[in-house]
A and B are shown apart, each in its own frame.
Chain A
Amino acid sequence: MNERYTNPYIIGVILGLILLFTFYTMGRGLGSSASFARIATAGVNLVAPEHAKANAYFSNYLRGGKSPLMAWLVFLTLGASLGGLFSAFISNRIKGEVARGPSIGISIRLWLALGGGILSGFAARLARGCTSGQALTGAAELAVGSWVFMLCIFAGAYAAAYFFRKEWL
């Protein structure tokens, strides 16, 4: 597998310019996690519309009777999946696999991915955003909560890293 990646400083500069462009055109930053909350809301709304409308948090995404998927961030995430696909395609990195360290089995890795996803989905809603929507965007605006949030992500991950070392190393 091709693991020759672009220098992180160059990526950082380009990502900063993309974020600046987003602020300049839209007056807001990047984001991602809310689109998954919206997709989940659309799913719940499909199965149990009364339940979704009665819920204080879901109903937030259903305001005005519009589809919860007609949102700026959903289109951003759609674009991100295409951009990621294009980049992986041109550098020959598309491969069906379960990414993991050498000393862990496939099934436990998938359970940990599910668990990590559940924690992340929950935490991103609690903190009103994830690494991109809250940490990156807010830090660039010098928002206090976003800086605290970002430091806490690193703190939480470093604190837990020891327990998951067999998953990655």
Chain B
Amino acid sequence: MGPLYKFGWFDVVYSFQLAGLIGFMFGFVLERAGFGNPRKLTAVFYLRDFAVLKVIFTAIVVCILGLLYFSVFGWIDLGRVYLLPTFIWPHIVGGLVLGVGFVMGGYCPTTSVVAAVSGKLDGLIFIIGMMIGSVFFAEVFPMLEGFYNSGDMGAIRLTDVFNINSGIVAFLVCLVAVGAYWIVEKVEQKFGDRDTLPKGSPKVKRTAAGILILLGLILAAVNPDRITAKSVVPEIKPEKQVEKVQQPKAKSQTPDNTGFKIIDDEGC
């Protein structure tokens, strides 16, 4: 049962190696998407190419579905996944400023790395800027500390705000995603350069959208919260499902029955 690291499947040294591997895949796919090119990235803000929105939204939807299905099948204990806490005011202000920084500098933090290694001097300068910004933040931190910790709502999820189960939230996110894809494709066909926009058969797109909504609908019907709440309390055997990933060298501990526990971790 995952998360493997939290159950002692490997040590911190191996986790660093794994970080390198995951990072490699991360950087690779970002470059494949063209996200080392700031004109490709910022085109989303001029309604010409919505690749950024499509990639982020698709990744989020796939991961939401994946996490919830994994939890339904008993492959992951979501209570042991570090849930990012909400500090609503810093999140709002930080998001707005980061957005301005994005369109001004042409990158967000990870894409600037991809740009810099593919030879773009502006990507490297952006990284230097980020370090200056981080140092500046640390220097003024004593003044900002109150604001930094303001609007603390704890580790809350959309399910808590809307008071519906996560299956229904996932289903709604799927619907919003398909609707958003449909709208942005209309918009980019109008404002963008049709020769460089990705092509794709409408039939494949309709099928994919159908599958997405179906997967969301199944989750909404299943209600993953009910299942995880039930499966965590009686101790199920976690060893059974994960044999194929890695031989357990370290002793894998069984989940304790505290339900949804937040493990303190550095989130970002």
Contact = CB atoms under 8 A, between A and B. Distances in A.
B139 A110 contact: no
A101 B240 CA distance: 55
Contact of B133 (A28, A119, A153): A119
A46 interface: no
B95 A161 contact: no
A30 B23 CA distance: 8
B59 interface: yes
A64 interface: no
Taking chain B's interface residues, is the majority helix, strand, or loop, or is none over half, making it mixed? helix
Interface string A56-83: 1110000000000001110111111111
Contact of B58 (A8, A58, A93): A8
B159 to A, nearest CB: 6
Contacts of B17: 75
A8 B52 CA distance: 8
B101 A83 contact: no
B25 A83 contact: yes
B110 A130 contact: yes
B117 interface: yes
A113 B96 contact: no
A141 B260 CA distance: 13
A110 B125 contact: yes
Contacts of B62: 12-13, 15-17, 19-20
A25 B115 CA distance: 28
A131 B109 CA distance: 7
Contacts of B51: 5, 8
Contacts of B137: 37, 57, 121-122, 125-126
Given A36-B109, A135-B56, A141-B83, A25 B3 contact: yes
Interface string B1-36: 011111000000001111111111111111111101
A142 B46 CA distance: 28
13 contacts: A12-B54, A14-B29, A15-B59, A20-B62, A84-B31, A88-B119, A117-B105, A117-B129, A119-B97, A120-B109, A126-B90, A144-B160, A146-B86
Given A26-B5, A97-B120, 18 more contacts: A8-B51, A17-B62, A23-B76, A24-B70, A26-B4, A27-B5, A75-B23, A81-B27, A81-B116, A83-B27, A87-B28, A88-B31, A88-B118, A113-B105, A116-B129, A140-B64, A148-B88, A164-B104
Interface of B: 2-6, 15-34, 36-40, 42-43, 45-46, 50-64, 66-67, 70, 75-76, 80-88, 90-110, 112-123, 125-139, 141-142, 144-145, 148, 153, 155-161, 166, 169, 181, 196, 198, 200, 208, 263, 265-268
